[in-house]
């Protein structure tokens, strides 16, 4: 088989990579060892706002938003002594029906209501997301899906990569493509053949995770069941996650790092989480013991071979940012790769991918790790006094103090504005910096900015139409309040073969202080100014990776 790009792995990262490439006119073959009806992992249960913005561009956001929990199931995060025990604190977050206000915008009153985005966060399990993405990928004529096919090895031949695979029926297949992208998980065979090692913190936490089917659990959780119920008592600590809001629940239990997994008895620990006796039963759908880590690949590229997602980084799944960071990797790479394959940019453009994404991966993984370590230290069962379950004055006082700490500690991870919108590319070979430092961001806070390298601040062009809906396939020049760019600017892009869309905006948002902003298709600012930049041909060459090519 011949194609332009081979993607190994049909999880959310691999499928998003393939769809974004196909949308840009690139032929892709996706290789996946699982069968189509094999259920995906239920561990990731958050589709971040930034990911939803990407899904919006791919035309799959509405289906992603509609999956998983029922329309009226709240996405509150509750801290309690057990499922039906005493509530310690609650981070109130909306159900699907509560999310949208009568004017169609993000409803006020929630920790993320003020976010500037067309697509708020969605609490939905990968168990439901993956089939939606797979079905949507099949609508792209440029995507060939090879399910039940195992990647064996690749041969990077300089001008192409030959990828050897074997179908489960025993057929040997060789796929020849210009590039290979490994989106094949934490144990990535692609990364291993590249000779790339993961570096970082090998062990941070241990968890016992059991996916159960039990409709009776919902009735234990009170009148407004939480999407997540974090349990803190002297016997066990962990979290109960609503998967469909009715029957399916994922129950994580913390295991002391110095102990083995069986130190947390499988069934009794679930009873301690639920606060039920021996007569309460459930069906085990899946069980997994796993170790949380913070590890990042030493590099993301070896000649014509790249890795994205868990193949490039793994970390504690706090803030739900494993899958979401992987999807951000994918779309950062895919627009650059498509521009090269379409003859619009020089291959040196691809050098920007690792220069941009590797530092962000380090930053985000440390945010997630630090928050996880803070919580795990506070949630150790030996530190939870038995009196926290008491209804007397001392118990109420302890729950109040613990609740304040849990709320302040955890709002940033469940309303993580900084992880979504705050990060910036400060060492990119294709960004035109102007000397102004980008705003500092934290896990829970970010300041919109047009500093080159930052995320393009969102605004509505017209009712229901986001500025992101209007961006072109590579670069877009935003012109505010009647300002006209010199013709030589557009002519230089045309001469270089680099697509440029010119978009005139009448109402200039306050954060946009310049007459002109050059936006990349991945929603990052490439340049801003009030007139024609100096040496416009060299300027355009840098945008297309042709500087010093």
Other residues' Cβ atoms within 10 Å of the Cβ of residue 483: 15
| Closest of 132, 121, 126 to residue 48, by C-alpha | 121
CA distance 125 to 242: 9
* DSSP summary character for residue 438: P
Within 348-486, residue ranges assigned H as helices are 351-378, 393-414, 417
| Closest of 320, 399, 111, 72 to residue 218, by C-alpha | 72
Per-residue tens of pLDDT for the chain, all 549 residues: 999 999 999 999 999 999 999 999 999 999 999 998 887 777 789 999 999 999 999 999 999 999 999 999 999 999 999 999 999 999 999 999 999 877 666 888 999 999 999 999 999 999 999 999 999 999 999 999 999 999 999 999 999 999 999 999 999 999 999 999 999 999 999 999 999 999 987 787 889 999 999 999 999 999 999 999 999 999 999 999 999 999 999 999 999 888 899 989 999 999 999 999 999 999 999 999 988 888 899 999 999 999 999 999 987 665 566 899 999 999 999 999 999 999 999 999 999 999 999 998 887 777 777 777 777 777 776 778 899 999 999 999 999 999 999 999 999 989 999 989 999 999 999 999 999 999 999 889 999 999 999 999 999 999 999 999 999 999 999 999 899 999 999 999 999 999 999 999 999 999 999 999 999 999 999 999 999 999 999 999 999 998 754
Q: Which pLDDT value is given to residue 549?
A: 44
Partner residues linked to 5 by β-bridges: 28, 179
CA distance 93 to 100: 12
Structure-token match 């379950």, residue found: 389
The model carries a pTM of 0.95
CA distance 474 to 455: 15
CA distance 60 to 136: 7
Q: Which pLDDT value is given to residue 319?
A: 52
State the distance between the two ends of the chain, measured CA to CA, in whole angstroms: 31
Backbone angles phi, psi at 460, to 5 degrees: -90, 125
Evaluate the CA torsion angle 49, 53, 58, 61 in order and state its sign: positive
| Closest of 456, 455, 454, 499 to residue 478, by C-alpha | 456
Q: Could you tell me which residues come within 8 angstroms of residue 138 by beta carbon, excluding any fewer than 6 positions away? A: 145
Other residues' Cβ atoms within 10 Å of the Cβ of residue 487: 9
Q: Which pLDDT value is given to residue 294?
A: 83
Other residues' Cβ atoms within 10 Å of the Cβ of residue 283: 10
Other residues' Cβ atoms within 10 Å of the Cβ of residue 268: 12
CA distance 10 to 129: 12
Q: Domains (ranges, CATH) in the chain?
A: 5-70+118-199+294-367 (3.50.50.60), 424-543 (3.40.30.120)
CA distance 158 to 439: 41
CA distance 234 to 13: 39
Instruction: For residue 362, give the 3-state DSSP assignment.
Output: helix
Q: Could you tell me which residues come within 8 angstroms of residue 45 by beta carbon, excluding any fewer than 6 positions away? A: 68, 123, 124, 125, 126, 227, 241, 243, 250, 320
Burial state string for 327-336 with b = 16 or more CB within 10 A and e = fewer than 16: bbbbbbbbbb
Structure-token match 């006020």, residue found: 108
């Amino acid at each position: 088989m011949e194609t332009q790009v081979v993607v190994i792995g049909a999880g959310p990262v691999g499928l998003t990579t393939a769809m974004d490439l196909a949308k840009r006119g690139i032929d892709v073959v996706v290789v996946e060892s699982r069968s189509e009806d094999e259920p995906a992992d239920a561990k990731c249960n958050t589709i971040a706002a930034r990911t939803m913005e990407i899904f919006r561009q791919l035309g799959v956001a509405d289906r992603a938003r509609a999956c998983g929990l029922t329309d009226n199931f709240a996405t509150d995060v509750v801290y309690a002594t057990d499922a039906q025990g005493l509530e310690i604190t609650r981070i109130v977050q909306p159900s699907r029906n509560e999310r949208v206000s009568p004017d169609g915008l993000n409803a006020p009153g929630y920790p993320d209501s003020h976010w500037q985005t067309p697509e708020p966060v969605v609490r939905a399990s990968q168990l439901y997301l993956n089939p939606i993405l797979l079905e949507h990928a099949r609508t792209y004529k440029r995507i060939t899906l090879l399910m039940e096919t195992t990647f064996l090895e690749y041969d990077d031949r300089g001008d192409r990569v030959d990828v050897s695979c074997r179908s489960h029926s025993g057929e040997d297949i060789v796929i020849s493509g210009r590039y290979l992208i490994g989106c094949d998980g934490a144990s990535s065979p692609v990364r291993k053949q590249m000779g790339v090692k993961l570096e970082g913190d090998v062990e941070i936490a241990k968890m016992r995770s059991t996916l159960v089917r039990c409709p009776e659990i919902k009735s234990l959780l009170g009148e407004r069941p939480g999407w997540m119920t974090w349990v803190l008592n002297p016997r066990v600590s962990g979290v109960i996650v609503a998967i469909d809001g009715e029957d399916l629940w994922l129950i994580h239990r913390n295991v002391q790092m110095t102990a083995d997994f069986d130190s947390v008895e499988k069934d009794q620990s679930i009873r301690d989480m639920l606060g039920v006796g021996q007569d309460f039963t459930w069906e085990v759908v899946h069980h997994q013991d796993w170790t949380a880590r913070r590890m990042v690949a030493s590099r993301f590229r070896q000649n014509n071979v790249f890795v994205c997602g868990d193949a490039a980084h793994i970390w504690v799944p706090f803030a739900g940012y494993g899958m979401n960071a992987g999807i951000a990797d994918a779309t950062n790479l895919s627009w650059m790769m498509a521009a090269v394959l379409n003859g619009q940019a020089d291959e040196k453009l691809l050098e920007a991918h690792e220069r941009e994404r590797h530092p962000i991966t380090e930053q985000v993984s440390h945010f997630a790790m630090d928050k996880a370590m803070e919580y795990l230290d506070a949630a150790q069962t030996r530190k939870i006094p038995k009196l926290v379950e008491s209804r007397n004055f001392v118990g109420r006082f302890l729950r109040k103090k613990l609740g304040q700490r849990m709320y302040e500690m955890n709002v940033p991870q469940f309303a993580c504005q900084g992880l979504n919108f705050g990060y910036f590319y400060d060492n990119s070979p294709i960004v035109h910096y102007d000397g102004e430092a980008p705003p500092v961001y934290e896990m829970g806070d970010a300041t919109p900015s047009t500093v080159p390298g930052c995320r393009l601040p969102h605004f509505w062009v017209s009712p229901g139409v986001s500025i992101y809906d209007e961006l072109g396939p590579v670069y877009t020049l935003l012109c505010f309040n009647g300002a006209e760019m010199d013709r030589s600017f557009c002519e230089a892009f045309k001469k270089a073969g680099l697509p440029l869309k010119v978009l005139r905006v009448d109402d200039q948002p306050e954060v946009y202080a310049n007459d002109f902003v050059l936006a990349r298709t991945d929603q990052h600012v490439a340049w801003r100014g009030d007139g024609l930049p100096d040496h416009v041909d060299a300027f355009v060459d840098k945008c297309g990776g042709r500087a010093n090519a």
